[in-house]
A and B are shown apart, each in its own frame.
Chain A
Amino acid sequence: MAATNPPIYSPLASFGLKDQKPTGNPYNPLTWGSWFSYQKSKLNLPNPGKFERLHAESKDCSCSAYLFDGAQANIIKELSANFHVQHQFSLGSQVMPSMYNFMSGYMTEKTMAQGTMDNDLNLNAVVRHAWNAHSATKVVAQITSTPGQSMLQVDQDINGSDYSINIKAMNPNPLEWTGLYMANYLQSVTPNLALGSEIVLQRPTADMEETAMSFVGKYTGADYVATATFQGLNALQATYYQRINEKVEFGAELNLMSQNGRRDGVATVSGKFDFRQATFRGQIDTTGRVSAVLEEKMAPGFSFLISGDLDHMKGQSKFGVGIMLSA
């Protein structure tokens, strides 16, 4: 029984190439790795996407990432295909003081480096390097001018053919191993269903340790996506996203939390409408909060944004106007 490849004496080499019927007796435990990869590749399971983007379809319909307050101006200069510089001015906001932000980014196929500095000289630096199609490392550093509030996050992404793994460390201190560590794993079980889990380990000092675990599931249908996250036994976050047609998308989100005898639930319905020159996102939720964001492309390189957020229960409202120039 001649092997087609020279024998490599390593446990990782036992997982052979997929799509290649392994030589070797399936009753021999040393060949179980390559038979496992072969049978799994016959199922043709798709990659389930990244764990942190699990709820991304529904969250993209909602306004939460796009709401802003006061007046904002964004000027983006593309100096070349790889290099861009952005200036951001913001004033008149009720939640944040007036600020100026400078961002520069350099992007190639494998590496991405981006730095943001604001008027208080706080730096937010992101460097992302993709070693190959399966693995990528990202380092995020937030260095503030007030000492003691800086943050460093290192994370590693491993994308297999039908699974994705992400390992993250925040403020790791190699001398005492304090910090926040997270690992998550998402696996496609059928062509439509993906299941996963996440473990969080918090070590603020060398004595205190706290762990949390959560389970997630994602079901993708023909034009809808349903996801659910169960965090420990306390919290549930479920979303449903439906694509009505290529211009209209709706998302619904439910957040339930029960902790220390208090039970809270919020349901949000949001819609995203794409017009020829504009995008409108509207959202309403059960706490009586209504928000909307409109982005209109008035000319190539010039867009106009309006954002409104009304909280009827609290009687508060926030509005924002902004322009985005791309030169």
Chain B
Amino acid sequence: MVSESTKETLLKVFDLTKKTVHYAFIPAIIYIGMTHSNPRPSWLKLISPLA
């Protein structure tokens, strides 16, 4: 149904997506959370437990 070369390309794309999601998911959530929150929190609050 699907040719071999398409299968291989799909597999490569899938592996690349997996790697990207693995490393970029949490930074993406942090970025979206910091920029889209109302009130906008400071970056210091992310690291320091006291702020």
Interface positions of A (Cβ within 8 A of B): 75, 77, 79-83, 85, 102, 104-106, 113-115, 117, 121, 123, 125, 141, 143, 150, 175, 327
Contacts and interface: CB of A to CB of B under 8 A. Distances in A.
B29 A114 contact: yes
A81 B21 contact: no
A175 B14 CA distance: 12
B46 A79 contact: yes
Shortest beta-carbon contacts, A-B, top 10: A83-B33, A80-B37, A79-B41, A115-B26, A106-B33, A143-B22, A115-B25, A83-B37, A125-B25, A104-B29
Given A80-B39, A83-B41, A104 B49 contact: no
A175 B41 contact: no
Interface in B5-51: 7, 10, 18, 21-22, 25-26, 29-30, 32-34, 36-41, 45-46, 49
Given A85-B46, A114-B29, A175-B7, 8 more contacts: A75-B49, A80-B39, A82-B37, A104-B30, A106-B33, A113-B32, A125-B25, A141-B21
Nearest to A104: B29
Contacts of B49: 75, 77, 327
A292 B35 CA distance: 42
Contacts of B33: 79-80, 82-83, 104, 106
A117 B22 CA distance: 9
Interface of B: 2, 7, 10, 18, 21-22, 25-26, 29-30, 32-34, 36-41, 45-46, 49
- The majority secondary structure among interface residues of chain A is strand
Contact of A106 (B10, B18, B29, B40): B29
Contacts of A81: 37-38
Given A82-B33, A125-B21, A117 B26 contact: yes
Contacts of A113: 29, 32
A104 B41 contact: no
Nearest to A125: B25
Contacts of B30: 85, 104
A295 to B, nearest CB: 21
Nearest to A124: B25
Contacts of A115: 25-26, 29
B45 A123 contact: no
Given A80-B41, A83-B34, A83-B37, A123 B25 contact: yes
Query: Which interface residue of B7, B10, B25, B39 has the most chain A CB atoms within 10 A?
Result: B25
B26 A123 contact: yes
A80 B38 contact: yes
9 contacts: A79-B34, A80-B37, A82-B36, A82-B38, A106-B29, A123-B26, A141-B21, A150-B18, A327-B49
A196 B7 CA distance: 39
Contacts of B7: 175
